[in-house]
Copies of this chain bind each other. A is one copy, B any other.
Amino acid sequence: MGKNAANLGASLDALRALLGDRLATARAVRDHHAHDIAYHPPMAPDAVAFPQSTEEVAEILKICSAHATPVVPFGTGTGVEGGINAVQGGVCVDLGRMDAILSVNPADMDATVQAGVTRNALNRHLRDTGLFFPVDPGADASLGGMASTRASGTTAVRYGTMRENVLALTVVLADGRVIKTANRARKSSAGYDLTRLFVGSEGTLGIVTEVTLRLHGIPEASLAAVCPFPSFAQAVESVIVTIQSGIPVARIEFVDEVVMRAMNLYSGTAYPEEPHLFLEFQGGEAEVRAQAEKVQAIAAEHGGKGFEWATREEDRNRLWKARHDVAHAVKVLRPGAGLYSGDVCVPIARLAECVARTRADLDGSFLISGITGHVGDGNFHAIFLVDPDDPKDMAEVNRLNDAMVRRALAMGGTCTGEHGVGQGKMKFMRAEHGEAVAVMRQIKQALDPQGILNPGKVLPA
């Protein structure tokens, strides 16, 4: 396992013969592929390959397999747990040139794309079909990357995550074999669910080259709303009642008082500096009004008195732009600082307690931080403002983040709701999964016996 200078040379020679100038070894290209947006030490691959087809990826894997060369798949580099850093060097496979939309089937409400297509590119392409792809992790990530990290975001409460929205994958295995994990049937009981096995496997079991996705109808009407609450606990209680009532809210986002202050400063809004819920309703005209009225009533019963609607598209967009700009907004609280994003998910009954205890913990720190959450899923993020070059800041953020994860695990939650394991969450895998980690490792060993696929990620040594 691992890299070996002679083997690597042979590998690169063979790859150069295959790809010509689509194999790059220039320092700048390698450095660009050495890290994502997190603060794990950059680790450059020895070369970056730019394949244009599944067949080329299969050839690359055959070569790397023959020489035991590590292979790291790369989408847009917008991950946050160091999942694409080449910790053992080797070849980075950048799927960015595999950006073809292969088919759209409006009647079946699905589309098949090459792994490098981004979600915004797909949605632009779909514009005239009346359909859209709803999963929205914030960044304009590639759909192969989103599948690989089991991404989700603000709309998961209504539309699910990549787990629910990937119908099938084309995957190249460590030895270069190509499989399709499923066909386009909406459901099947025909054997093991390989689709779900590869979704979220972060390139450690195979390289995703094509993705078949569920599409959804663009709703007839949308209505956004925002509501302050005296406490996070009351906001969460109203969310629990809303979901139990079966109201299919499209988005239910929490923003804490620190982030609201930043939002007002950055976006020029004048919201009270209190915990807020941001909501979106989608459906027929009458339905969305009915939904919003019900949620308004539920909110009022839980102390949410300032429920404000936005039906006009410009008001709705302004509201959601303010929410989406949070990552930029919080930087006004410490100009020049970098962001570090924590990510846990707990059963919703424990969410209020988990957030309250996390907020109290964060309040005791010298670091400035805010909390946002996809509250309908029990998923929340602590956003820390740090100087990544200051060891004191980094030690403190790691301490706070570790405590947040341990707290979530103790409440029956997970160490990552949507960011993935990468390098950052490996240390929590045993605490979360126990013996199941050994099962994951058996599967890894069966499918990648040399350990060439994205080594040093997901599974602790």
Please give the residue numbers on chain A whose beta carbons come within 8 Å of chain B beta carbons, in ascending order.
105-110, 130-131, 149-152, 156, 160-161, 163-164, 173, 177-194, 196-197, 199-201, 205, 216-217, 219-220, 240, 243-246, 248, 282-284, 286-287, 290, 294, 345-349, 377-379, 412-421, 425, 428-429, 432-440, 442-443, 445-447, 458-459
Contacts and interface: CB of A to CB of B under 8 A. Distances in A.
Contact of A110 (B152, B347, B417): B347
Report which residue of A179, A191, A432 has the largest number of chain B beta carbons within 10 angstroms of its beta carbon: A191
Report which residue of A199, A415, A433 has the largest number of chain B beta carbons within 10 angstroms of its beta carbon: A433
Contacts of A443: 192, 197, 443, 446-447
A192 B429 CA distance: 11
Contacts of A349: 105, 107-108
A234 to B, nearest CB: 14
A184 B458 CA distance: 20
B246 A216 contact: yes
Nearest to A438: B177
A196 B152 CA distance: 17
B432 A183 contact: yes
B244 A109 contact: yes
Contact of A161 (B187, B378, B413, B425): B187
Nearest to A289: B286
A217 B298 CA distance: 16
Contacts of A200: 189, 191-193
Q: List the number of copies, as a whole number.
A: 2
Dominant secondary structure at the A interface = loop
A68 to B, nearest CB: 19
Nearest to A343: B189
Contacts of A192: 197, 200-201, 205, 440, 443, 458
Contact of A184 (B412, B417, B446): B412
A130 B347 CA distance: 19
Given A194-B436, A447-B442, A345 B290 contact: no
Contact of A190 (B163, B196, B287, B415): B415
29 contacts: A105-B349, A107-B240, A110-B347, A179-B433, A179-B435, A180-B434, A180-B436, A183-B414, A183-B432, A184-B347, A185-B412, A185-B414, A186-B377, A188-B417, A189-B414, A189-B417, A190-B425, A191-B421, A192-B201, A192-B458, A193-B197, A196-B196, A216-B246, A217-B246, A219-B246, A246-B282, A439-B447, A442-B446, A442-B447
A294 B178 CA distance: 44
A199 B192 CA distance: 8
Q: Which 10 A-B pairs have the closest CB atoms?
A: A196-B196, A107-B349, A188-B414, A446-B446, A217-B246, A179-B436, A185-B345, A108-B347, A185-B414, A150-B189
A347 B168 CA distance: 13
Nearest to A415: B190
A401 to B, nearest CB: 15
A437 B191 contact: yes
B156 A194 contact: no
